[in-house]
Homo-oligomer: A and B are copies of this chain.
């Protein structure tokens, strides 16, 4: 079976700092035509970070897209030139957001967040054996966050209550459940 959608024409709609938007005219496998609305994103990293006590580090922050607070694992976008250096980006975000670092970083999953319309690619790392950094790199100026350290049971309660409501964090917590089983 043939699946590919051939690009006939791309219309650029928006070039932002976080993402770009385009609409493609495509030719379907049966020769029909369709439009595809697309978001292009540079990619990001996120970290399942475990303290020496076995607690999970979470970050509480405001999310404008949903106009509410959200509790998530540490994460951040790749910066320019960081493609191919995702591990370094994960360590940077971990240090900036939590003040911890590690020599024990393992890639758990490499995935797309919203594959139907967006190419944002995320890497989820396990950061074990965390150690405190003496003078950690500062957070971004427009980041207002609050750190939490929770047990697996507390993390599951935060999913049940809806305080944790994002895909990458639920994936990380399920991964931790699987590690602990």
Give A residues with C-beta under 8 Å from B. Answer: 1-5, 13-14, 16-19, 21, 23-24, 26, 28-30, 32, 34-41, 44, 60-66, 69-70, 72, 75, 77, 109-120, 122, 141-142, 144, 146, 159, 162, 165-168, 170-171, 174-175, 177-178, 181
Contact = CB atoms under 8 A, between A and B. Distances in A.
A2 B39 CA distance: 31
A55 to B, nearest CB: 20
Given A5-B62, A38-B65, 12 more contacts: A1-B144, A1-B146, A2-B144, A13-B13, A13-B21, A14-B14, A32-B142, A36-B64, A65-B112, A65-B117, A65-B119, A114-B118
Contacts of A119: 65-66
Contacts of A66: 112, 115, 119
A46 to B, nearest CB: 10
Contacts of A177: 178
Contact of A26 (B5, B64, B110, B165): B64
Contacts of A38: 64-65
Given A72-B115, A117-B65, A109 B159 contact: yes
Contacts of A146: 1, 3
A162 B110 contact: yes
A82 to B, nearest CB: 16
